[in-house]
Chain A
């Protein structure tokens, strides 16, 4: 019988498991020295208590999985090659090919790219996949695959997977990949691990160790899919490095069919291209200006710096109040909360109301004259100095490059 096991001998009755449990699934009862944890009907086997136990008294046991699947019948690593509207393969597919090659080398298997595209497409995409590491490309040129329709693609890939039996399928965790992969997982009745940041393979068993963040990145979990095939994972763009294209690499391109009965059920009414005037809430890079920039006449300097950095401009409240910038630029509790990968803060002292709005930033670089400014408590990199001068010299350096 699977479930949460409590080693009464090891349990010290400290109660950490109770505090860790969000569902009331465990209680600590009894008088010392017989005080011990007990599982309740509310246990959801999430494992929080196992992680929290300081003495290793808790474990989750599971019965040997019973499936009819013979893992040894499955082989090769597949990479789903998503294309854009123009038919070009997305960089994330090359990144996956790069990692798949390394895994395949350990496992001594092949890397196969799966490519669906319009009927009039040329060989460019398939060739690019080979050049980036595919040993074979399973290609279907069919107008039903010309647009990213998750229903059509799911039917097609499921049919291929049933026929070819891949050991692993990797997908980019793009918007489309995240819509497509679960539909395949449920149809093939197999596991799917989302947004992996680390992929490793056991060269003997072929078991894929998939590590991913959960709880908004506050917790990492390593996940395996021991008894079901294919093992499937999605990976965010930018996690792995794409290998250099090698035009001399050779690989096979196999054209495959899409079942005639499959039809799209989604009608695209309108494409709306990505917004050119991006909102600062979604900006990847942000230059945030504070009163320390001194005067409105320094704004052009800051705009130039932002341009060179490819950053959007945000600011603190006083600048909006002074009419230097519009409200949509205001970052903070009363403005916009931002979560850029890089935030460069110039002349911002870091009032608590402002800091509340930048807590989502991954890396904060702050420049301020006051070495004790609270902004530095929120920064990973600090420069104490006149932000206007720093900006001007930085522009000179960046322009020189």
Chain B
């Protein structure tokens, strides 16, 4: 069996500021880290793999990403933590992809890896916050999808049982495999690698696929393949000033009551 965990490299900080001198947006380009939700996804994949292995199945976990060449280090880290292999889609042609074009590239990566039984994604990425990749992948393969999973209850060779967040609470659902699940951050905490894992991953090779390797249609990749375009970005204004509510206690309480009423 084959489990694929989709991971994305995101900036370690999502802080955005306005440079008061130049009136431009400053996103401090810090080191890339694994998207925290995807870290959970990898851990869920590893746990599912262990559960299946205990049932006697022959299971592998592959970490898949689309990113710049340096993202290979992130995948190597996934291998150190227990993934069997890592595959990276990396090409200038993939640059500027929105969710649809990203989904297209990942679809090719998944087809390259072949025959996935379970695809695990983080619920969303902390830089884009779109939460679209998981359900789009499921749509692309026309397989079932359960989003915002809060607990994996059972993993079997042909189905899984998970609890996920719904608008009215939680549902426990059973879905046949292959399927896509997206996981919340608190489902599991990604394990740290052992010394043995780190040293073994040093020698592991990460497969890097270009657009041509993946057999991609250039018109569906990257900027060219993205239906959506960002036409403007700006930093929202926020007021951090503290307003002191003065006067005697009656005035204060009256103002406070009105304030709370407004917020209702």
Residues of A within 8 A of B (CB): 2-3, 16, 18-25, 41-48, 51-54, 60, 62-63, 65-66, 82, 84-85, 90, 148, 150-151, 154, 174-176, 178-187, 189-195, 209, 213-228, 265-275, 309, 341-342, 344, 363, 365, 376-377, 379-386, 389-390, 393-394, 397-398, 401
Q: How far is the CA of A154 from the CA of B143 in the complex (A)?
A: 12
Indicate if B242 sits at the interface (CB-CB under 8 A): yes
Task: Indicate which residue in A52, A226, A272, A383 contacts B170 across the interface (CB closer than 8 Å).
Answer: A272
B171 — which chain A residues lie within 8 A by C-beta?
A: 268-272
Indicate if B204 sits at the interface (CB-CB under 8 A): no
Residues of B within 8 A of A (CB): 9-11, 14-16, 19, 21-30, 32, 67-70, 92, 94-96, 98-100, 103, 126-140, 144-148, 161, 163, 165-176, 219, 222-224, 226-236, 239-245, 249-250, 252-254, 256-257, 259-261, 263
Which one of A45, A227, A363, A386 has the greatest number of beta carbons of chain B within 10 Å?
Answer: A45
5 closest A-B pairs by CB: A45-B96, A191-B227, A54-B22, A51-B25, A191-B228
Shortest Cβ distance from residue A163 to the other chain B in the assembled complex, whole angstroms: 19
Assuming A52-B24, A215-B15, A269-B173, what are 14 further A-B pairs, CB within 8 angstroms? Answer: A3-B223, A19-B29, A51-B233, A194-B130, A195-B130, A214-B129, A215-B126, A219-B234, A223-B228, A268-B171, A269-B174, A376-B242, A393-B250, A397-B253
Q: A43-B92, A309-B260 are in contact. Are A191 and B100 (CB under 8 A)?
A: yes
Shortest Cβ distance from residue A154 to the other chain B in the assembled complex, whole angstroms: 6
- Cross-chain pairs A/B with CB under 8 angstroms, 5 sampled: A16-B22, A90-B167, A219-B16, A221-B233, A380-B242
Contact (Cβ within 8 A) A390 B259: no
A180 — which chain B residues lie within 8 A by C-beta?
A: 135
Q: How far is the CA of A376 from the CA of B94 in the complex (A)?
A: 48
Contact (Cβ within 8 A) A215 B22: no
A23 — which chain B residues lie within 8 A by C-beta?
A: 9, 29, 32, 67-68, 70
Which one of B135, B140, B176, B232 has the greatest number of beta carbons of chain A within 10 Å?
Answer: B135
Contact (Cβ within 8 A) B174 A47: no
Q: How far is the CA of A226 from the CA of B252 in the complex (A)?
A: 52
Shortest Cβ distance from residue B37 to the other chain A in the assembled complex, whole angstroms: 12
Q: How far is the CA of A227 from the CA of B127 in the complex (A)?
A: 25
Q: Tell me the nearest residue of chain A to B159, going by C-beta.
A: A267
Contact (Cβ within 8 A) A2 B242: no
Q: How far is the CA of A311 from the CA of B132 in the complex (A)?
A: 33
A384 — which chain B residues lie within 8 A by C-beta?
A: 244
Contact (Cβ within 8 A) B223 A2: yes
Contact (Cβ within 8 A) A186 B139: yes
Which one of B68, B95, B127, B129 has the greatest number of beta carbons of chain A within 10 Å?
Answer: B95
A274 — which chain B residues lie within 8 A by C-beta?
A: 168-169
Which one of A82, A267, A384 has the greatest number of beta carbons of chain B within 10 Å?
Answer: A267
Q: How far is the CA of A257 from the CA of B29 in the complex (A)?
A: 51
Q: How far is the CA of A381 from the CA of B98 in the complex (A)?
A: 40
Q: Tell me the nearest residue of chain B to A384, going by C-beta.
A: B244
Contact (Cβ within 8 A) A398 B257: yes
Q: How far is the CA of A193 from the CA of B135 in the complex (A)?
A: 14
Q: A215-B127, A226-B229, A228-B227 are in contact. Are A394 and B257 (CB under 8 A)?
A: yes
Q: A182-B135, A220-B236 are in contact. Are A381 and B253 (CB under 8 A)?
A: no
Contact (Cβ within 8 A) B227 A22: no
Contact (Cβ within 8 A) B168 A85: yes
Q: Tell me the nearest residue of chain B to A267, going by C-beta.
A: B174
Q: How far is the CA of A65 from the CA of B170 in the complex (A)?
A: 42
Which one of A45, A219, A224, A267 has the greatest number of beta carbons of chain B within 10 Å?
Answer: A219
Shortest Cβ distance from residue A270 to the other chain B in the assembled complex, whole angstroms: 4
Q: How far is the CA of A176 from the CA of B131 in the complex (A)?
A: 12
A223 — which chain B residues lie within 8 A by C-beta?
A: 228-231
Q: How far is the CA of A209 from the CA of B259 in the complex (A)?
A: 33
A215 — which chain B residues lie within 8 A by C-beta?
A: 14-16, 27, 126-127, 129
A365 — which chain B residues lie within 8 A by C-beta?
A: 256, 259-260
Shortest Cβ distance from residue A182 to the other chain B in the assembled complex, whole angstroms: 4
Q: Tell me the nearest residue of chain A to B170, going by C-beta.
A: A272
Contact (Cβ within 8 A) B68 A25: yes
A183 — which chain B residues lie within 8 A by C-beta?
A: 135-136, 138-139, 145
Task: Indicate which residue in A154, A175, A397 contacts B147 across the interface (CB closer than 8 Å).
Answer: A175
Task: Indicate which residue in B28, B95, B136, B219 contacts A19 across the interface (CB closer than 8 Å).
Answer: B28
Q: How far is the CA of A85 from the CA of B252 in the complex (A)?
A: 44
Task: Indicate which residue in A43, A84, A216, A265 contacts B144 across the interface (CB closer than 8 Å).
Answer: A265
A390 — which chain B residues lie within 8 A by C-beta?
A: 249, 252-253, 256
Shortest Cβ distance from residue B233 to the other chain A in the assembled complex, whole angstroms: 5
B223 — which chain A residues lie within 8 A by C-beta?
A: 2-3, 45, 60, 62
Q: Tell me the nearest residue of chain B to A46, going by C-beta.
A: B96
Task: Indicate which residue in B15, B145, B227, B249 contacts A385 across the interface (CB closer than 8 Å).
Answer: B249
B30 — which chain A residues lie within 8 A by C-beta?
A: 22
Contact (Cβ within 8 A) B168 A227: no
Q: Tell me the nearest residue of chain B to A40, going by C-beta.
A: B68
Q: Tell me the nearest residue of chain B to A364, going by C-beta.
A: B242
Q: How far is the CA of A385 from the CA of B145 in the complex (A)?
A: 53
Contact (Cβ within 8 A) A22 B29: yes
Q: How far is the CA of A364 from the CA of B162 in the complex (A)?
A: 37
Which one of A65, A179, A189, A342 has the greatest number of beta carbons of chain B within 10 Å?
Answer: A179
B92 — which chain A residues lie within 8 A by C-beta?
A: 3, 41, 43
Contact (Cβ within 8 A) A265 B176: yes
Q: How far is the CA of A301 from the CA of B260 in the complex (A)?
A: 18
Q: A45-B96, A342-B263 are in contact. Are A179 and B239 (CB under 8 A)?
A: no
Q: How far is the CA of A186 from the CA of B23 in the complex (A)?
A: 37
Q: A194-B132, A219-B234, A267-B173 are in contact. Are A41 and B140 (CB under 8 A)?
A: no
Contact (Cβ within 8 A) A266 B233: no
Q: How far is the CA of A377 from the CA of B130 in the complex (A)?
A: 32
Contact (Cβ within 8 A) B136 A182: yes
A221 — which chain B residues lie within 8 A by C-beta?
A: 230, 232-233
Q: How far is the CA of A274 from the CA of B171 in the complex (A)?
A: 10
